[in-house]
Structure 1
Amino acid sequence: MRIETEFLIIRNFELKDESDLCEYMLQRVNAEFEAYPDFTREKAGEEIQYRSKSDEFYAIELKAEHKVIGNIYLGKRDFNSRELGYVLNEKYQKKGYGSEAGKAAVDYAFTQGLHRIYAECAPQNTSSWKLMEKIGLKREAHFRKNVSFHSDANGNPIYWDTYVYAALNPKEEFPLVKDIVL
């Protein structure tokens, strides 16, 4: 996949992206939301090998700098759906790049015949759910204590609530069901 927007190129990862990937993933080691505590500089090589062969992870490259500043995740799910995820280097957050990349990825996926895209985040992650709303996803659910990214001092999971956002392919027609027989 390759998508060009005003400021970005969303494309498959390449082995040369290892240093940029490592930079923003190391920022996630102790992140409040969706931390990657096991990520190390030494694991970056394995991760870039994996992502360069993946059809679910895409690099977000800033055109002006030819630098990978994050990634878009479009994880395959049942029923012709994909789960949207995104990570941006902290130095490039709050500049509109996340919404530019997210909108481009969603639009592209729908042109490829995808039926539904959804994304999840913690209610406290205001930046994330505002981005989802900005790119056209609608809040569908609030799941209580359904995920855990951290443990307490005794190693017990700390559970978080999750908002679920989604969008349906606008090119599909959804006829009304007039008679349902149970």
Structure 2
Amino acid sequence: MSSIEITTHNFIIRPFERKDLVKFANYRASESVARYQSWADYTYQDAIKLFESMDYATFGAAGQWYQLAISDKSNDAIVGDLAIHFIDAEQVEIGFTVAPEFQGKNVATEAISGLINYLFGCLGKHRIIATTDTRNIASYKLLEKMGFRREGHFIKNIFFKGEWSDEYQYALLRSESKII
């Protein structure tokens, strides 16, 4: 399934290409981007390692994570990325990152809408989940705007960047989705 491509009004969501890695590493190295993410100092070598570890030919395999680029339809430059974890045959976990200069411009809203349509409409998945740090207001507000339901508030459940942090878990069922 290496030919995965999701087209929205302004973006093409596609597998990463080597040409994307400099931009990818640069925005992931931004302190504002990394604040609520699992990494601290993201390098070009980290981007290469991630890129070389993904096998898009197995896209959709249970237990695997895949990273997809959100590229601008007009010039193919990446503006962010989506993470997809195929938990099992019916459930998927997602994550999203947008480059700082494109935040607040509905990039994530449009990309996640396209991804939800793909996961529920094309792949027939039953449930999508997302987990976010409770301090990441923009992230959880976006999930709520997209129709995700907060299912859990985990108190001090993760030791993250030197301190215990809280997380919210969100979910959306295919039957609840307003996008399809």
Give the match's secondary structure for 2:165. Answer: strand
- Matched letter for residue 126 of structure 1: I
Aligned mate of 2:145, from 119, 134, 155: 134
Q: Distance in 2 between matches of 1:28 and 1:51?
A: 25
Measured against aligned partners, the alpha-carbon deviations of 1:16-35 in whole angstroms (never above 9, x if no partner) come to 21122112221259832114
Measured against aligned partners, the alpha-carbon deviations of 1:94-128 in whole angstroms (never above 9, x if no partner) come to 00001111111011101111110000112211100
Unaligned runs of 5+ in 1: 152-157, 173-182
Aligned mate of 1:32, from 14, 29, 35: 35
Cα RMSD (Å): 2.2
Unaligned runs of 5+ in 2: 60-65
- Matched letter for residue 117 of structure 2: D
Measured against aligned partners, the alpha-carbon deviations of 1:137-173 in whole angstroms (never above 9, x if no partner) come to 111111111123201xxxxxx111111110011289x
Q: Distance in 1 between matches of 2:133 and 2:165?
A: 7
Aligned mate of 1:48, from 34, 37, 51: 51
1:37 to partner: Cα distance: 2.0
Checking the alignment, whether the CA contact within 8 Å between 1:28 and 1:35 is kept in structure 2 is no
Aligned to 1:123: 134
How many residue pairs get matched? Answer: 166
Checking the alignment, whether the CA contact within 8 Å between 1:29 and 1:39 is kept in structure 2 is no
State the TM-score, normalized to the length of structure 1: 0.82
Q: Distance in 2 between matches of 1:134 and 1:171?
A: 13
Q: 1:12 to 1:138 in 2, by over 3 A?
A: same
Q: Distance in 1 between matches of 2:33 and 2:108?
A: 21
Bigger Rg, structure 1 or 2: 1
- Matched letter for residue 27 of structure 1: S
1:5 pairs with 2:15: no
Checking the alignment, whether the CA contact within 8 Å between 1:140 and 1:166 is kept in structure 2 is yes
Q: Distance in 1 between matches of 2:140 and 2:10?
A: 22
